[in-house]
Amino acid sequence: MKKMQLLQLCAFFHVTVCSQIEEVAISPPGNEVFVLAGSAFQFTCACVGSCKTPQFSWTRATTDSDRMRTKNSTLKFSNVKIEDAGRYTCDAKCDGSSEKKLKSVKMTVYAFSQPVLVMPSILTENVACDVTCSVDAFDHVDSVHISWYLGSELLKDETQQTLDAANVSDTLTLTALRDYTGKSLTCEVKADMRNNSKQVSYCLDIHYAPKINISASSSGMEEEEVVMSCRSDGNPTPTIEWERKGELWPKNLHRHKQGNVTGRLHRSNQGVYQCVAKNVVSEAKEEMKLEVQYGPANTSIQSFPLQAISYGVQLNLTCLSDMYPKAKQYIWTRIPDMALPKEAMVTNSHLIIDNFQEHHQGIYECRVIHHSGNTERAFYTASVQAEPESKVFTQMVGAVAGSLVSGITGGIVAGFMLAKWLK
């Protein structure tokens, strides 16, 4: 009997010891905890000891009406307010035990406004500008730490004392680069270097001037298809327009969106063309000269003298052709299968024979060779024109008359000389 009682007493003593709470701990630790107004926050109460089923209650140091019981160990605030500040006590006891353990913590609520960024409406490449981050409405804040970030890169750190100031601000001088486009510029504000912070960010869009790149052939043959392309990388995206410098735009060339020109070339299209790209930053222009090659066409041979060729005159032949650019080569020959006379002097499009004779007669050919490889020929027949019969007859009559006159004159002179001698 005594042995049984002793065993029961030991069991009771064991349960009591095993159900004790040695200490209560609150997380986050510390006698005073600073919490940012507007944030979500919670206290967690835990017991150290052998108690397996502890019960918790939280009490605010104002009235018992603020007592809160929770089945778990947390006291939660979804949106901390200034009026939530105060001292909170967690008491814990084991189930079936009247003994309590207490732990208190002071919650101080600090506050400052959401930071505001003031910056230019347009950021232009390589132009320095000031960006200001400001914050106000302080409560339980002695100093403000302002940090500037470009993406994840820290640009600047600045600590400012609030004292009795109604507003604290910091200015960052930023020289914009086009690579910043799409990156976030962030101002982060911390009070007294505590963990909680407020941020304001702005996604950068850097404007920069257009830069033109023309892709087009500077020359082409008449009737060929032409494509002229103009591109620009400005921001905002520039408008692109083609112009013909000093002249109206040709009807056979078609301007399209995105800076393309297409059409079939005509010799009248030759000239200077200009691509113009514009955005809010500036205007860019770039020129190109378009050459339209054509010919040879309408090839002919011009002669001097223009009338009939006589023996002994100078014959000057010039080969003419409608083309651009000038001919690559002129080839003179005499046909059929006859070499040029050795007296013929050839200089490009000119052929000259100084003393035209019968053996110079023949059909002269000029072959024009264009840079494109196109060729065209022209022919000229060089021959001495026979004198008309009427002209021959007139010459004979003149000769006879001349002879008669010469005879009569000679007789008179001879008679006069004879009479004088007879005297």
* CA-based nearest residue to 380, from 344, 419, 421: 344
- Counted residue by residue, the chain has a size of 423
CB 268 within 8 A of CB 282: no
Q: How far apart are the first and last CA of the chain?
A: 224
CA 227 distance to own-chain centroid: 20
- Angle (nearest 5°) at CA 267 between 263 and 270: 80
Q: Over 70: is that where the pLDDT of 341 sits?
A: yes
Give the torsion through C-alpha atoms of 212, 213, 219, 225, to 10 deg. -100
**pLDDT confidence of residue 93:** 86
* CA-based nearest residue to 255, from 244, 267, 246: 244
**pLDDT confidence of residue 71:** 61
pTM beyond 0.75: the answer is no
What distance in Å separates the CA atoms of residue 44 and residue 74, rounded to the nearest whole number? 4
* CA-based nearest residue to 133, from 205, 196, 201: 201
What distance in Å separates the CA atoms of residue 366 and residue 330, rounded to the nearest whole number? 7
- Tokens coding 292: 């339209």
CB 216 within 8 A of CB 265: no
pLDDT in tens, 230-266: 999 999 999 999 999 999 999 999 999 889 999 999 9
Question: Which of 184-193, 253-262, 317-326 comes out lowest in average pLDDT?
Answer: 184-193
| Position 80 confidence tier, pLDDT thresholds 50, 70, 90 | very high
Taking the CA of residue 296 as centre, how many other CA atoms within 13 Å lie in the half-sphere pointing to its CB? Answer: 23
- Angle (nearest 5°) at CA 362 between 361 and 364: 120
* CA-based nearest residue to 133, from 151, 100, 158: 158
Q: Over 80: is that where the pLDDT of 17 sits?
A: no
